[in-house]
A and B are shown apart, each in its own frame.
Chain A
Amino acid sequence: MQTFENVIPGTSLLDYYQGINKSQIILLFKGAMSQNTLVRIGDLIRLPSEEVGSDTYSKRLFAIMVEMAQNILFYSQEREISPATETNVGVGIILVQQMPNLYQIICGNLINEDQRQRLQTQCLKINGMSQEELREYYSQQRRRILQEGSKGAGLGLIDIAKRSKNPLVFDFHPMNEGNYFFTLVVKINRDPQ
């Protein structure tokens, strides 16, 4: 019987399947993150409130996913032309893990040295803040940011931390040509509020 040993180098499809199972991954996407793709993935993560406990909770997961996906779309250094819209979109990975007491959303994409420095500073700053301070910081940044020059408002990470109510877990793995693979792990506790 064929075992599909070569589907994924170094592993069989069955190993891969079991690995995903064991890691409690309920959704995984790797590829070009166009706005359309983002909307579709978003629909998959709009879990019914009876499943996640509350509508607010379901909305939080969705909101965090949107900010992560738009970060990939706008800022990933790995770019592709989306065949559907003929626009230049970022490539990355996003996955959702459903654990007994929490959901974990993880995203990753390629960034450059300049982005690494800004992300590291921003993540550390955010992790040093209380919920109240985050709220104030968000408002302050929103006032400061000029629309020009940035497609996003540069508020994404603050919003993610505000909604998740957990510290951001992040990593920068060195890659070729001075780039890094940026990983962001966001936990959302199941316990409401």
Chain B
Amino acid sequence: MDNFNLASTNTTPSVFLDTTRGILEFAGESYPENAVQFYQGVQQKLEAYLEESRDPLTVNFKLEYFNTSTSKCLLDLLECLERSHQKGKTITVNWYYAEEDEDMHDSGVDYSLEIKLPFNLIAFKPKA
């Protein structure tokens, strides 16, 4: 399967799926007018990839901000990963947050409690 690459816009994050290295990554901000439409597109690609690949997958969330409708879409996406994990696929989620960003940290904690997946919370120092 081909790599998948979406550049970020004002209101949508960059998304890339590197099928060779087994990395799916989201970075930036997410508050589109229609989050469902955006994330359904991403999820379809992801599901197709999960169907055909048996390799381990690392999912990196490097989001700086997301709105509530995105929050629901991310849960759907994580549930999709969880199902694949239950069927035996090795999946690791890395949730990055700026070390002072309490809200983004808490969002990660809340997802990690709901989703049965290896889930790492990773603090980083924001660029000065």
Contact = CB atoms under 8 A, between A and B. Distances in A.
**A and B found bound together:** yes
Interface of A: 35, 39, 54-56, 59-60, 62-63, 66-67, 70, 73, 135, 138-139, 142-143, 145, 147, 151-153, 155-156, 158-159, 163, 193
Given A143-B114, A151-B34, A67 B67 contact: yes
A63 B67 contact: yes
A193 B72 contact: no
Given A55-B101, A60-B103, A143-B75, A153 B68 contact: yes
Contacts of A159: 67-68, 71
A163 B76 CA distance: 23
22 contacts: A39-B10, A54-B100, A55-B98, A56-B103, A60-B103, A62-B65, A63-B65, A63-B67, A66-B31, A66-B67, A73-B33, A135-B110, A147-B76, A151-B33, A152-B68, A152-B69, A153-B71, A155-B69, A155-B71, A155-B72, A163-B103, A193-B102
A139 B106 contact: no
Interface in B108-123: 110, 113-114
A56 B65 CA distance: 11
A63 B103 CA distance: 10
B contact residues, range: 20 to 34
Contact of B69 (A60, A62, A153): A153
Contacts of B59: none
A141 B98 CA distance: 26
Contacts of B101: 55-56, 59
Given A56-B103, A67-B67, A156-B68, 13 more contacts: A39-B11, A55-B98, A59-B101, A60-B103, A70-B33, A143-B114, A153-B35, A153-B68, A153-B69, A153-B72, A159-B67, A159-B71, A163-B103
A3 B106 CA distance: 53
B126 interface: yes
B36 interface: yes
B89 to A, nearest CB: 23
Given A55-B126, A152-B68, A142 B75 contact: yes
Contacts of A143: 75, 114
Interface in B54-81: 64-65, 67-69, 71-73, 75-76
Contacts of B11: 35, 39
B106 A135 contact: yes
Contacts of A193: 102
Given A55-B101, A135-B106, A147 B72 contact: yes
A158 B110 CA distance: 15
